[in-house]
Structure 1
């Protein structure tokens, strides 16, 4: 695996190159299948690392199977994260997958159990005290409501919800909190949040996503990243994966390019919020000026 500093340095130089430049090296990661309190999940983790790395919980969109995030999850893990991609079926007999806010708490419990397991190769590299969440579509809304300590159906059922104290930052892809045509304001209570939305997103319309971003409160830092030419399924390995509500709009950027860009900005946001100085410089100065694949607004 590339060391964290080397990865940042490589991509700082990569983004100033023309669009026709060579693709970055293939990720050096491994994956394994696990269970988290009854939910099937895939874990992607660095093949070689000399330090403990944070956990990223990747919450899928509604009815998108976890295998369709393989490219994005492996690219993100290569920056130095253990990436967990679960599938949750609150009503299994309907066969419909919707992420749950409780997955944040369950991911932390799983991480602690793995660290305590002396024969776990994952437990040997992960840091159970740091949780980062990347959500796609419904998964992004799940993460936002969890950060707000709101038990919001259909992402949570009950009288209350309390996020785990290990949560440090969120990135929402194709995210909005529009309900019945109006934006539901969300107060995330001290959690840094980045929105990443494709300019060709026909499911989470850009205007809806931006309105949700502007109504977000409580974030010490926030950012809105327009991923140019991407549609709603810029994270998945194919457009309109089976079972998901399709996006009628066609992307004008390649899948490989959109996944690489989304993974880069997700990783840089997470690392910046964890105190990495090079990543912070990328997010707040270099990237917005030099990455021609995006347009960035910072708050």
Structure 2
């Protein structure tokens, strides 16, 4: 792991009275207090390890039966992967427009090492502006169901490298550019007319728990307005290069503001352009970014993968290290990012306030680390 100098840049704001006297928020404060007592009290005695739990990842290629997409599947590779008791959630990476799946291999491998089966398909369809054009690489919402079905097959097929190690009940999304907009549409459970992101009918799958998207925003193609994203508590992270010349940073901020319910996180990567996530800058065939990245490519990919994976671990697996990194320590440890988070702890009973008697402690912790839901 790279040794990072401490740096604190979280944007914090809190309407104390509004938060304190809301019954729902008192319940959340109770849970935050419990988190501090049960977990945070231990962090002072031992350093939390934020590195990938698995040293190696492998991949293989297959065809997704439902739509004939060729896909690369990345997965952790401990020595006992097929004999141990592993259960890795599914993560679907939705490619950017005209970007081949092979350009995401470094990023996908790193995310897989955090304990996920990462599926990266090549999805072809006609360009929206010309339905009669030859099929091009372009993500869409129909891939979600197709991948879920294929992972159920892979999990039961004895010849599959990931047989019996896939958690088919947990799904996370990753996405780049247009693929990220598709992912946001899925999370919002909304098919925008004229957006070419989806096919009707579409229903958000119950397995979907979280999504992390790089260089993506969601706007109505007719009005060009940013649309509300009714995520219903599904965790969303937006990761953005601060010199992205294709998906402008201010559009990412506007989309972040439209995500209706926490947890949500906005991670800005200093020196990264629109292709900070891909193996090479401006992959062949893609709409190029004329801004030159100043962040070293390998550092950029590792940074984006680390924040993506730990965000998914925090919100899909309720992982202590992931939660601590995303909502508390990561922004101080990583000199290449700036982070804004809005987080709600899991619900608890108001009776817990009497048990722990530390409403003030919960308030101070949250004020120091993140923005509380309901604050302004």
TM-score under structure 2 length normalisation? 0.71
Instruction: State the alpha-carbon separation in 2 of the partners of residues 177 and 279 from structure 1.
Output: 26
Aligned twin of 1:275: 318
Residue 58 of structure 1, CA deviation: 0.5
Aligned twin of 1:7: none
Q: Larger relative CO (CA 8 A, sep 6+): 1 or 2?
A: 2
1:126 counterpart (138, 163, 166): 166
Runs of 4+ residues deviating >6 angstroms: none
Instruction: State the alpha-carbon separation in 2 of the partners of residues 63 and 15 from structure 1.
Output: 36
1:171 has 2:206 as partner: no
Native 8 Å contact 2:5 2:333 kept in 1: no
1:30 has 2:65 as partner: no
Structure 2 alignment gaps of length 5 or more: 7-50, 128-132, 343-376
Instruction: State the alpha-carbon separation in 2 of the partners of residues 163 and 15 from structure 1.
Output: 40
1:142 has 2:182 as partner: yes
Instruction: Quickly say closer, same or farther: Cα 1:17–1:289, change in 2 above 3 A.
Output: closer
Residue 277 of structure 1, CA deviation: 0.9
**Residue pairs, 1:84-123, within 5 angstroms:** 84-91=119-126, 94-123=134-163
Native 8 Å contact 2:185 2:218 kept in 1: no
SS at match of 1:182: coil
Residue 289 of structure 1, CA deviation: 1.9
Instruction: State the alpha-carbon separation in 2 of the partners of residues 75 and 66 from structure 1.
Output: 15
Residues 233-258 of structure 1, C-alpha deviation per residue, up to 9 Å, x if partnerless?
01100011011111110100011000
Instruction: State the alpha-carbon separation in 2 of the partners of residues 182 and 15 from structure 1.
Output: 41
Instruction: State the alpha-carbon separation in 1 of the partners of residues 249 and 176 from structure 2.
Output: 14
**Residue pairs, 1:48-67, within 5 angstroms:** 48=78, 49=81, 50=84, 51-67=86-102
Aligned twin of 1:297: 340
SS at match of 2:257: helix
**Residue pairs, 1:111-260, within 5 angstroms:** 111-152=151-192, 153-158=195-200, 160-178=201-219, 179=221, 181-217=224-260, 219-260=261-302
Structure 1 alignment gaps of length 5 or more: 1-10, 19-23
Higher mean Cα deviation, 130-139 or 181-190?
181-190
Residue 185 of structure 1, CA deviation: 2.4
Q: How many residues align?
A: 280
SS at match of 1:271: helix
Larger Rg: 2
